[in-house]
Amino acid sequence: MKTILLKNRPKGRPSVSDFEFVENDSPLEIKDGELLLETTYVSVDPYLRGRMSDAKSYVAPFELDKPVHSGIVAKVIASKHTEHKEGDYLAGMLDWSTQQISNGEGLTKVDGEKAPLSTYLGILGMTGLTAYLGLTEIGKPKKGETLVVSGAAGAVGSVVGQIGKILGLRVIGIAGSDEKVDMLKSKFGFDEGINYNTTEDMTAAIAKAAPNGVDVYFDNVGGPISDAVLFNINHFARMIICGAISVYNNTELPKSVSVQPFLVKNSALMQGFIVSNYSEKFPEAMKHLSTWLAEGKLTYSETVVEGFENIPQAFIDLFDGKNKGKMVVKI
């Protein structure tokens, strides 16, 4: 059995040396009420960067020299549990280990016949729920409005944009390469895309793509990209602050524009969002996501990295935009 521990709290950009691989050859023995799980797919997510630091946040930091954990799909390979049997697949927060013992708490049975197992970490998992609930609960979009999405080619962003189209919005996506911008339009049905790496004047580019202004902004990245969107908001605009990957590795407080005048003069709303605060709405959200997926109204993209030993690098690669859609590691 192999496990990945957090060895150092990363300073700035994480590196593979912040993690330690340990191996344990003694067999894992389960007791009554327990399951032996073998990891199948591991989700790597930008929010894990926050948990690697010891700054106060909405979830406790990872402990040093303890396993990192994230969303995982695992196969039951032995069971003394009343509910889950050998051969079942379960999804939930688990350790970065090839095998582990669990009492089943917090794990949900998933069905690989209904949808590919990896989708329970993406469009039918946490990132899909984030997209649906952030957009509908805070964005409250109305047909005909203009939605801008940053981090648009990623796991959350690509689903936000598609839901925007289902709800009758004009959708503009911001992403880091021409290939991603093409994908936004050809695969996900966005109306416009902007490559922030090759666009000199983002404020002007957003104004051009959104001639009627921005009504809803789904923010995954923060920083200067989001400032440029702010300069284009309409009266009563809603800004969903879902994430800020552009500043997660900052070692100093970022210099940002003063948002207050823009909020005041536009009577606009800017609200932080944590998906777990909406857990009572998960069943309803999941119903919409799975129905739209089955009907072909939603689609998804995944970057699948192979091999347990590549989990830390796959996580780090999120900060270089190496993923299209959901980044998962197949074990």
Residues that bind ligand NDP (CB under 6 A): 45-47, 127, 130, 151, 153-157, 175-177, 180, 220-221, 225, 242-246, 273-275, 318-319, 321, 323, 327
Q: Are strands 89-95 and 108-110 parallel, antiparallel or unpaired?
A: antiparallel
- DSSP conformation class of 156: H
Residue 155 or 169 with smaller CB distance to ligand NDP: 155
Residue 35 or 153 with smaller CB distance to ligand NDP: 153
6 pairs with which residues across the strands? 19
Stated length of the chain: 331
- How far apart are CB 51 and ligand NDP at their closest, in Å? 11
Residue 259 or 274 with smaller CB distance to ligand NDP: 274
Residue 76 or 174 with smaller CB distance to ligand NDP: 174
- How far apart are CB 16 and ligand NDP at their closest, in Å? 18
Nearest in space to 99 (alpha carbons), one of 33, 44, 41, 36? 36
What Å distances lie between residue 100 and 66, 77, 105, 278, 308, CA to CA?
A: 14, 10, 13, 29, 14
- How far apart are CB 276 and ligand NDP at their closest, in Å? 7
90 pairs with which residues across the strands? 74, 109
Q: Dihedral, CA atoms, 237, 238, 243, 248, nearest 10 degrees? A: 40
- How far apart are CB 254 and ligand NDP at their closest, in Å? 11
Residue 104 or 151 with smaller CB distance to ligand NDP: 151
- How far apart are CB 145 and ligand NDP at their closest, in Å? 21
